[in-house]
Structure 1
């Protein structure tokens, strides 16, 4: 399982972002409310779920930004 330099999986990192006042914070809140979201969820799995749900481009951009932020920490 891939982790960032702090040893956090993407899902662990994302759940800590719920206090942010941006698209990543919104994405984190949505993930936290999703019963299918787990600590093993990867960015690619979330992209697939967004596609299945018919999400708009902003959601994908938020996920892309979140993945970059996660990898840079």
Structure 2
């Protein structure tokens, strides 16, 4: 597991193109975003926020990148 929590890592991805970048931008604007959370915490948060299905795909893609970082 990477040392940086997934939520924090994701917010550093705001300059990326595509859905991961959109997710990261939204995460930075969301005061309730689980910044120290793991990917599952982010999925739970997105579910509570009734996020679009594409954002869940973005979490999946971001999780793979985070694990490889």
- Scaled by the length of structure 1, what TM-score is found? 0.82
Residue 72 of structure 1, CA deviation: 0.7
Q: Tell me, which stretches of 5 or more residues in structure 2 are unaligned?
A: none
Match of 2:63 among 51, 59, 67: 67
Residue 38 of structure 1, CA deviation: 4.3
Greater C-alpha radius of gyration: 1
Q: Tell me, which stretches of 5 or more residues in structure 1 are unaligned?
A: none
2:50 counterpart of 1:54: yes
Length, aligned pairs only? 69
- Scaled by the length of structure 2, what TM-score is found? 0.87
